[in-house]
Amino acid sequence: MNTNVFGNVRFYLWAALALVLFYDYEAWMKDYGPAPQVASAPAPAGAASPAAAPASNLGNHIPAASAAPGPAAAASAPAAAAAAPGGASVSAPAPLVHVRTDVLDLDISTHGGTLVRVDLPAYPKVKGESAPVRLENEDSAETLYELQSGLTGPDGGAYPTHLATFSSARDSYQLDGGRELSVPLTWSEGGVTVTKTYTFRRGEYAIGVRYEVHNGGAAAWEARPYAQILRNDPPTKRSYFNVESYAFHGPALWDGGKYRKLDTGSADDSHLSIDVKDGWVAALQHHFVSAIVPPRAAPWHFGLGAEGQQYLLSATGPVQSVAPGADAAFETTLFVGPKLQAQLDATAPELGRVADYGRLWFLARPLFLALSFVHKLTGNWGVAIILVTFLLKLVFYPLSEASGRSMAKMKTLQPRIKNLQDTYAEDREKLGRAMMELYKREKINPLASCLPIVIQIPVFLAFYWVLLESVEMRQAPFAFWIHDLSARDPWFILPLIMAVAMFVQYKLNPTPPDPVQAKVFMIMPLVMSATFAFFPAGLVLYWVTNTVLSIAQQWNINRRIGALVAKRS
């Protein structure tokens, strides 16, 4: 076997690593072209806002309720507001109920009891500025985002749908010193009274929704609960210089056994209609989510409809009959806020999946848990990254030690390899045989040094997704000039340190026998540091820490092997 084969294997493995690192670059820089603009008719004179004249009629759709949950019951075709039971769309803005907790600042419209604005005071859009992240809103047709909910029933009846009119005893509520805040809205018609109560708890982004029904009529009253997310979600133009643009935007669900991200442009997904137990639906964006979590064990129906850039993701529960003079209750849970995994997991099984770590979630989740544990001890996410990287180095130490010893032995053979190259300069085949005999005699496996590199690739990618998707690290400072581990190094100092460290690591390793390969390995630190320059600073910190630890380990191995060779001499 030719010695060049071993050199090429190492080269291709390094090249594979470089290609993996460039994967995101290629995806982000790909020219998708500007998103097509949908022409909108001019707003009528006196219209309250662009949201009053949406591009589609999805927001007026009420799930059919004349049958048990099934495809027919969740048809996504919009229904005209004027024909919808329980109320019709009105042109004048409905009164709002303002609610303020320690983590949420929101408005509930008395038109349907809909969440029409949700601000997150603890999460500024831009670090250091006061404007908070805003999720649900009616600010414009382009940003329209509502969380609608209600009770529906057989056609022809009056129901407290999201198009009905509710009343509220107060126009504002605030969670002061208490642990829980209840915000009741009331609807009454035909002898039936429904109290729709939102429940907020201190420190939590999960919101309870409970309907208490009293049937004062003479006949049984049938109803079923539903909740739906209406969102105008134009595609994001991806950019290599904006890591947020690479995060998934759109609807997703858990069907009780599988997590699915939905494509509103797909014929299948845009007409989704499935029955589910123990599932949930959610609207995802980078770091934040709105989710509907039905009660466990009950059969609910999930549906998705899309028109243009707007989609309606719905969850509809089973029919419940309320006898004359009787009372009944319907419940569901909403989650509106950051993708805090502890709160997500406490709200519903597998809801933590919305922190979208991609296909390597089985590696990313343990990495995040390890980072979280260390962060609780240190209070600094940057320190947590350094310590977890150190722990990973310990886990892979036996493998790295074997690899390092192989490289150290090869480095001591450099004079003999150079002699063979000079001797067989005109005969590559003889050179290959001679080097193979030398490796065999010295019990060296040239491929052993490649294995740790291969193993590090999925760990590196998992770390990348943890740092990109974990809202816990959003705008988290480290030290000195690093004020946001989820953003690039503003001064590019860490990538420069990384380049120097990788060059030192290169000098500690044996020089490839092929001069071309040697030059490729020499410029690799520069290429990789340039690639990492726009990656999250936390990821560069991980790679710098890993490289420095590798340098220390390899230096120690080289020293020991060198002393052993000198002793033999």
Alpha carbons within 13 angstroms on the beta-carbon side of residue 442 total 23
| CATH 2.70.98.90 residue window(s) in the chain | 52-355
Cα pseudo-dihedral 340, 342, 344, 350, rounded to 10: 120
**Angle (nearest 5°) at CA 542 between 538 and 544:** 115
Instruction: Examine the pLDDT at 29 and tell me if it is beyond 60.
Output: no
Which of 306-310, 456-460, 475-479 has the least mean pLDDT? Answer: 456-460
Would you state the pLDDT for residue 91? 52
Q: Give residue-wise pLDDT tens across range 490-528.
A: 999 999 999 999 888 877 776 665 566 667 667 777 888
Which of 236-245, 285-294, 475-484 has the largest mean confidence?
285-294
Q: Give residue-wise pLDDT tens across range 324-335.
A: 999 999 999 999
User: Can you tell me the distance from the alpha carbon of 256 to that of 296, in angstroms, rounded to the nearest whole number?
Assistant: 10
Q: Give residue-wise pLDDT tens across range 363-393.
A: 999 999 999 999 999 999 999 999 999 998 8
Report the pLDDT averaged over residues 33-62. Answer: 48
Please give the CATH number for the structural domain made up of 52-355: 2.70.98.90
Residues with Cβ within 8 Å of 461's Cβ and at least 6 positions away in sequence, in order, are 20, 360
**Angle (nearest 5°) at CA 267 between 303 and 140:** 65
Q: Identify the burial level of 305 via C-beta atoms within 10 angstroms of its C-beta, where 0-12 means exposed, 13-18 middle and 19 or more buried.
A: buried
Q: Identify the burial level of 86 via C-beta atoms within 10 angstroms of its C-beta, where 0-12 means exposed, 13-18 middle and 19 or more buried.
A: buried
Token pair belonging to 534 = 């726009």
User: Can you tell me the distance from the alpha carbon of 427 to that of 425, in angstroms, rounded to the nearest whole number?
Assistant: 6
Would you state the pLDDT for residue 407? 66
Token pair belonging to 191 = 């002898």
Judge whether 246 and 285 are in contact, CB under 8 Å. no
Judge whether 262 and 252 are in contact, CB under 8 Å. yes
Q: Give residue-wise pLDDT tens across range 404-454.
A: 666 666 666 667 777 777 777 777 787 778 777 777 776 666 655 566 667
The greatest distance separating any two alpha carbons of the chain, rounded to the nearest whole angstrom, comes to 106
Phi, psi of 503 (to 5 degrees): -70, -40
Residues with Cβ within 8 Å of 132's Cβ and at least 6 positions away in sequence, in order, are 105, 119, 120, 121, 122, 123, 124, 125
Instruction: Examine the pLDDT at 71 and tell me if it is beyond 50.
Output: no
User: Can you tell me the distance from the alpha carbon of 102 to that of 105, in angstroms, rounded to the nearest whole number?
Assistant: 8
The model carries a pTM of: 0.79
Instruction: Examine the pLDDT at 133 and tell me if it is beyond 80.
Output: yes
